[in-house]
Amino acid sequence: MKLSIIIVNYNTKDYLRQVLQSIEASRDKIDKETIVVDNASTDGSQTVIRRHFNWVKLIQASQNLGYAAANNLGLTRAKGEYILFLNSDTQILSDTLTTMVKFMDQHQDVGISTCQVELPGGQIDPASHRGFPTPWAALTYFTGLETAFPKFRLCGQYHQGWQDLSAIHEIDSPAGAFLLTRKLILDTVGSFDDRFFMYAEDLDLSLRIKQTGWKVMYVPTTKIVHHKKKSGRHSADPHLRAITSQHFFTTMKLFYDKHYKHKYPKIITWIVLSGIWFISKIRN
C-alpha cells in the first residue's frame, strides 16, 4: 500500500464529515487507506463514519488519549509506505495527495513534507511553516517582535515569514494538520512522543527526524484548507480554554526541557519558562 492517512477526531463531527468527503472526491489513483482514531467523542462522530464512510478504518479509543497517543494508535494499523497525519478540521483538494506523494517519490532525501495550508479566509496558516522554538525565536514571537517585523530574518525565526512562501523550500517543521512522512523513518526514529497530549508534538517529531539527516520541505504547489481555532485555547468555553492553556504550558515546557535545557544557562531556562507560563495565562 502506498499511503495511510491517519486522522484523529475529538468531537469535530461536521468537520470530520468534510475532510472525509474531500478524500472521497480526490482524483488520485493512489493505493491508500484512511484510518480515523476517535478519542471517545460524544457528538455522534462514530455514527457518521459507520453510516456514511464505511471505507474508513475506525479505531475507537475508550478515553481522550490526546493527539500524539491517538496518532500512534492509528499508526499501529497503518500499512502504507507513506504516512499522512491529517487534522479532522481540514479539507484536501483533488490534486493534494497526488502532488505530495509524487514529490516524496522524487525526493528521496526528504523525510517530511507539507503543502500550503490555508485558513478559510485564504491566508497561510503560519503554524504550517515554522522554525524551531529556540529561546530567541520564542522571545521574538511572544514579545511581538516577529509580528512587528515579519520579514526581518532576525525577528522572524519562528514562522519564517522572510522566506518566499510561493516557492518550495526547506523548513524546520510543519503543523500536524498536514504532515507527510515515510513509515520507514517512523519505524527507525520513533513516532510522536506520547507525553505531548496536545501542542508541540509535531515540532518534536520534526526535530528528531531532522537530527537524523532528513529534510523537511514546504511544497506550495498544492494546498489544503484548515478550519482552525475551533477548539482548545480559542474555544468559547472558558473551562476548556483553561485546560488547553495548561496543556500548552506543560508541553512547551516539556519540549524545552527535552531539547534545549541542557544547551543554555539556567537563567535563560528560567526566563523562557516564565514567559511561556505568563503568556499561557494572559491568553486564556
Residue-wise pLDDT for 26-84, tens only, equals 989 999 999 999 999 999 999 999 999 999 999 999 999 999 999 999 999 999 999 99
pTM: 0.88
Residue 105 is placed in which grid cell? 517519490
Asked if residues 82 and 112 have their Cβ atoms less than 8 Å apart, the reply is: no
Alpha-carbon distance of 211 to 220, in angstroms, equals 24
What domains does the chain contain, in order, with CATH numbers?
3-129+165-228 (3.90.550.10)
* Helix, coil or strand: residue 15: helix
Alpha helices in the chain (DSSP H): 13-24, 45-52, 67-75, 96-106, 135-142, 145-148, 183-189, 201-211, 238-259, 266-282
* Cα–Cα separations (whole angstroms), residue 134 to 1, 154, 234, 271, 272: 38, 12, 24, 12, 9
Q: Which has the minimum average pLDDT: 113-127, 237-251, 252-266?
A: 237-251
Is a pLDDT exceeding 70 seen at residue 240? Answer: no
- Residue 81's Cβ-count burial label (10 Å; 0-12, 13-18, 19+) is middle
pLDDT tens digit string along 112-125?
999 999 999 999 99
Is a pLDDT exceeding 80 seen at residue 244? Answer: no
Predicted confidence at residue 164, as pLDDT, reads 92
